[in-house]
Amino acid sequence: WFKERTRSQISEVLSDKVPCAPVLTDLELINDPNVKAREMIQEIPHPDGFTYHAIATGIKFTETPVAINVLPPRLGEDSAEVLASLGYSSDEIAQLIGEGVTKGA
């Protein structure tokens, strides 16, 4: 039954009987009118000069706006810490960074 119908047709038939909505692709989600109206996707400026899209919180407060205020780490920012936690010595980490195996901060 489902293979013979489009998403729109299925949603139309089922919407009277059960709560349902189609599963959206990435681009459909970003362009969805409800997602835009609720500002669910935010453009965040990055210190390296570019912007990226982030999923905002679904919770909205009228008097206390919630904002994304934590940036993702820069490439290599946490490499030394992660490698040290895995048991690599400072010299080994420096060698890996020097050889271009990983990026350092």
Going from N- to C-terminal start, the domains of the chain cover 2-70, 73-105
pTM over 0.75: no
68-100 exposure pattern, b = at least 16 Cβ within 10 A, e = fewer = eeeeeeeeeeebbeebeeeebeeeebeebbeee
For residue 4, the 8-state DSSP code is G
The model's pLDDT over 33-70, given as tens digits with 9 standing for 90+, comes to 989 998 888 888 888 888 888 888 878 888 887 777 77
Cα-atom radius of gyration of the chain, to the nearest Å?
22
The model's pLDDT over 71-97, given as tens digits with 9 standing for 90+, comes to 778 889 999 999 999 999 999 999 999
How many angstroms separate the CA atoms of 66 and 98, rounded?
41
Q: Which bin fits 76, alpha (ψ -120 to 50), beta or left (φ > 0)?
A: left
Q: Is 11 helix (H, G, I), strand (E, B) or coil?
A: helix
